[in-house]
């Protein structure tokens, strides 16, 4: 298997330090060095002599990378300059030459490519002057040298920089010419060696071309048959003798042909799956990862799926790779078509759900639901999904849709700013959707709210509020993650949206006002302590643990609550009203928790 040429070229141009040759005093060699007049040189003279020494070193170096490295490392010989980046033109592309292991800033690389062979200014933070200078030969551009300065160079310094660039360009021209001559000589030698085997190779080439044409025609026929992914994996298995499979981009199996299929198929790990996709995407052609030879279905750069061969014995040869590549090409139109259909269907679903949540006429809703193959005549539940570590974007909406399908939910879906909304035709299982999403996202930090059943389309906006209410109550409870049903809220159902908040505030003030005022004046937490005490069912140990305080401290606080409020926690009426008041304070009025 052959990796990406650009990847190998990058490592070809990895950092290798080379210093200028020095004499016994540690100075650059110059024509006049060592004479009695050396101490009388001006800084300009010293710079020119150093440039002369650098020029000798540049032309004495046969390697292009080393030439560019010398120019970058000794750019100070021309003036108050710093070399920000260097590039060599390889195969029509400008390949950065990392310095001390540091890759040039992306903004610099982008600017250099925008110049398209011309010199131009470059902006670098903290550097008032910056310039990208082309390293040109007689007929072509060899690369770029990006130079910055903390002050604007003088005319003499500009002249010395121009001299350094010209010497570097000339040295690169010589090095490239030598390289081409060496390559030409090696190529000539190779051709001479191969000449005696041309007849035998000609037969082999004809056979290879015939095989490639046959594979191409065979796979084109498979794709035209319209039998989908299974037809492609069957054909690929038949050509290679290896198990062939298709996964979606999330690692879920779509088709498998051949022996040794894992049952059940392993649940994908989202993090490892993304790492694998990035690793394969960086390479050109199929990539081996453990026992699989993998290629991506990636039209226009978007990954739609994975096509792979299971090759545990490392038996794949060039014919296997060829068959895999042609199979991937034949599968691309199929997956693209399915993706386009899914996008259209998803858009129609979202538009319908958005109208139902806002309120729409029944005749139009029923007609549109039939068009997308969904039955709106049944009772429905509104389901609201929110995950703390996931933005409610298209990707998360697709994740929720997959999880719902995996647990057998028939639903329509849309998304809002911070949550995803499902319209389901049956009461969701208490745990199934949550567990499926926990597996999909790799975290359990999510909450799901489910409305009461809706028998009328006109009631769906109200039931949407119920689902939001159920989610909000669960998020503010002690066990904030999981699924909450509106019809299981009990007391909280009467504290939902639409009630008079002024009455609630009056009720809270009546029962907790003195404690709230005390907490505000003394920066205390008596109301929160009382709320935790009720949440823990009056259990001293659990309450103290939840508040991270000692049991005796809890007893003291509860006594202070009795003294300040004048209410008796042992009295049934007082206890009930205080518990309701703390709940309203925390859930409805924005209290801590």
Q: What angle do CA 539, 542, 548 make, to 5 degrees?
A: 135
Classified as helix, coil or strand, 496 is coil
The predicted pLDDT at position 451 comes to 92
pTM of the predicted structure, to 2 decimals: 0.41
Across the range 556-581, mean pLDDT stands at 89
Q: Does residue 31 contact residue 83 with C-beta atoms inside 8 Å?
A: no
**Taking 60 as the threshold, does the pLDDT of residue 501 lie above it?**
no
Across the range 456-482, mean pLDDT stands at 86
Lookup result for tokens 């052609």: 285
Phi-psi region of 117 (alpha: psi -120 to 50; beta: other; left: phi over 0): left
The predicted pLDDT at position 366 comes to 81
The predicted pLDDT at position 343 comes to 65
Classified as helix, coil or strand, 451 is coil
The predicted pLDDT at position 26 comes to 45
Half-sphere exposure of residue 166, counting CA atoms within 13 Å on the CB side? 8
Q: β-strands 381-387, 420-424: how paired? A: antiparallel
- In DSSP terms, 83 is beta-bridged to 147
Count CB atoms within 10 A of the CB of residue 314: 8
Backbone angles phi, psi at 117, to 5 degrees: 95, -10
DSSP conformational letter for 485: E
- Percent of the residues in the chain that have a pLDDT greater than 70, as a whole number: 84
The pLDDT tens digits for 211-237 are: 677 777 777 777 677 777 888 888 888
**Taking 90 as the threshold, does the pLDDT of residue 251 lie above it?**
no
Q: At 368, which helix (H) or strand (E)?
A: helix 362-371
The pLDDT tens digits for 320-361 are: 888 888 888 888 887 776 767 666 666 777 788 888 888 888
Q: How far apart are CA 387 and CA 291, in angstroms?
A: 35
Q: How far apart are CA 116 and CA 220, in angstroms?
A: 40
Mean pLDDT of all residues belonging to the chain: 82
Q: β-strands 81-90, 129-136: how paired? A: unpaired
| CATH for the 208-338 domain, from 3.40.50.150, 3.30.450.40, 1.10.357.10, 3.40.50.1470 | 3.30.450.40
Half-sphere exposure of residue 44, counting CA atoms within 13 Å on the CB side? 7
Q: Does residue 154 contact residue 162 with C-beta atoms inside 8 Å?
A: no
Q: At 413, which helix (H) or strand (E)?
A: strand 411-415
The predicted pLDDT at position 58 comes to 84
Per domain, the residue ranges of the chain are 5-181, 208-338, 359-493, 501-587
Q: Who's near 65: CB < 8 A, 6+ residues apart? A: 12, 13, 16, 88, 97
The pLDDT tens digits for 279-290 are: 888 888 899 988
| Direct distance between the N- and C-terminal alpha carbons of the chain, in angstroms, rounded to an integer | 57
Lookup result for tokens 């709106």: 376
Across the range 362-372, mean pLDDT stands at 79
Topology alike, domains 5-181 and 501-587: no
Q: Does residue 394 contact residue 470 with C-beta atoms inside 8 Å?
A: no
The pLDDT tens digits for 5-59 are: 334 434 444 444 445 555 444 444 544 444 444 445 677 677 777 778 888 888 8
Q: Nearest Cα to 273, choosing from 294, 256, 243, 259?
A: 294
**Taking 70 as the threshold, does the pLDDT of residue 136 lie above it?**
yes
**Taking 70 as the threshold, does the pLDDT of residue 455 lie above it?**
yes
**Taking 70 as the threshold, does the pLDDT of residue 3 lie above it?**
no
**Taking 70 as the threshold, does the pLDDT of residue 496 lie above it?**
no
Across the range 80-86, mean pLDDT stands at 90
Query: Of 593 and 483, which is predicted with more confidence?
Result: 483
Backbone angles phi, psi at 254, to 5 degrees: -110, -35
The pLDDT tens digits for 175-186 are: 888 888 888 888
Banded pLDDT at 319 (limits 50, 70, 90): confident
Query: Of 150 and 32, which is predicted with more confidence?
Result: 150
| Cα dihedral: 188, 193, 195, 201 (round 10) | -120
The predicted pLDDT at position 344 comes to 66
Enter the CATH code of domain 501-587: 1.10.10.2840
- In DSSP terms, 482 is beta-bridged to 447
The predicted pLDDT at position 285 comes to 84
Q: Nearest Cα to 493, choosing from 424, 580, 591, 427?
A: 580
The pLDDT tens digits for 378-433 are: 888 999 999 987 888 888 888 898 899 889 998 889 988 889 999 998 999 989 99
Q: How far apart are CA 115 and CA 113, in angstroms?
A: 5
The full 3-state SS of 62-125, as one line of letters, equals CCHHHHHHHHHHCHHHHCCEEEEEEEEEECCEEEECCECCECCCHHHHHHHHHHCCCCEECCEC
Banded pLDDT at 208 (limits 50, 70, 90): low
DSSP H helical segments within 196-317, as ranges? Answer: 198-224, 229-240, 270-281
Across the range 531-560, mean pLDDT stands at 92
CATH topology classification for 359-493 = Alpha-Beta Plaits (3.30.70)
Enter the CATH code of domain 5-181: 3.30.450.40
Q: Nearest Cα to 15, choosing from 141, 108, 143, 103?
A: 103
Q: Does residue 142 contact residue 173 with C-beta atoms inside 8 Å?
A: yes
**Taking 90 as the threshold, does the pLDDT of residue 144 lie above it?**
yes
The predicted pLDDT at position 494 comes to 58
């Amino acid at each position: 298997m052959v990796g990406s040429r650009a990847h190998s070229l990058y490592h070809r141009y990895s950092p290798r330090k080379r210093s200028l040759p020095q004499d016994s005093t540690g100075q650059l060699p110059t024509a006049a060095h060592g004479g009695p007049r050396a101490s009388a040189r001006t800084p300009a003279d010293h710079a020119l002599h150093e440039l002369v020494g650098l020029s000798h070193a540049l032309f004495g170096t046969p390697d292009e990378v080393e030439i560019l490295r010398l120019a970058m490392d000794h750019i100070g010989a021309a003036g108050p300059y710093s070399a920000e980046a260097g590039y060599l033109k390889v195969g029509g592309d400008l390949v950065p030459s990392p310095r001390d292991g540091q890759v040039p800033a992306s903004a610099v690389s982008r600017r250099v490519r925008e110049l398209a062979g011309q010199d131009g200014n470059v902006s670098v933070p903290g550097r008032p002057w910056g310039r990208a200078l082309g390293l040109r030969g007689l007929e072509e551009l060899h690369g770029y040298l990006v130079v910055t300065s903390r002050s604007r160079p003088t005319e003499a310094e500009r002249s010395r920089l121009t001299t350094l660039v010209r010497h570097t360009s000339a040295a690169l021209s010589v090095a490239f010419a030598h390289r081409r001559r060496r390559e030409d000589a090696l190529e000539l030698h190779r051709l001479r060696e191969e000449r005696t085997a041309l007849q035998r190779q000609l037969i082999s080439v004809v056979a290879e071309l015939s095989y490639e044409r046959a594979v191409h025609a065979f796979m084109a026929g498979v794709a035209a048959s319209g039998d989908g992914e299974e037809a492609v994996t069957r054909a690929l298995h038949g050509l290679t003798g290896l198990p062939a499979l298709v996964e979606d981009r999330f690692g879920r199996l779509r088709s498998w042909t051949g022996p040794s299929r894992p049952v059940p198929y392993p649940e994908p790990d989202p993090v490892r799956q993304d790492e694998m996709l990035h690793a394969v995407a960086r390479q050109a052609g199929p990539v081996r990862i453990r026992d699989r030879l993998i290629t991506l279905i990636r039209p226009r750069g978007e990954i739609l799926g994975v096509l792979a061969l299971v090759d545990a014995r490392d038996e794949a040869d060039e014919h296997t790779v060829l068959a895999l590549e042609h199979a991937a090409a034949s599968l691309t139109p199929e997956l693209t078509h399915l993706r386009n259909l899914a996008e259209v269907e998803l858009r129609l679903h979202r538009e319908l759900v958005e109208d139902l949540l806002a309120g729409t006429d029944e005749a139009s809703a029923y007609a549109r639901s039939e068009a997308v193959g969904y039955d709106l005549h049944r009772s429905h539940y509104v389901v609201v999904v929110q995950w703390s570590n996931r933005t409610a974007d298209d990707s998360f909406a697709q994740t929720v849709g997959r999880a719902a399908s995996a647990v057998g939910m028939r639903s329509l879906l849309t998304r809002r700013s911070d949550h995803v909304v499902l319209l389901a035709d049956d009461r969701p299982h208490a745990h199934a959707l949550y567990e499926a999403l926990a597996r999909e996202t790799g975290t359990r930090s999510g909450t799901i709210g489910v409305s009461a059943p809706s028998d009328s389309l006109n009631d769906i906006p109200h039931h949407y509020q119920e689902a939001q209410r159920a989610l909000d109550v669960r998020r503010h409870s002690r066990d904030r993650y999981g699924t909450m049903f509106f019809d299981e809220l009990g007391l909280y159902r009467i504290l939902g949206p639409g009630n008079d908040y002024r009455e609630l505030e009056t009720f809270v003030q009546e029962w907790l006002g003195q404690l709230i005022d005390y907490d505000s004046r003394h920066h205390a937490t008596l109301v929160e302590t009382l709320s935790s005490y009720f949440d823990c069912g009056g259990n001293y140990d659990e309450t103290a643990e939840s508040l991270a305080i000692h049991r005796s401290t809890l007893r003291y606080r509860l006594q202070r609550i009795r003294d300040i409020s004048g209410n008796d926690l042992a009295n049934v009426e007082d206890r009930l009203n205080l518990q309701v008041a703390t709940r309203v304070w925390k859930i409805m009025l924005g209290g801590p928790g």
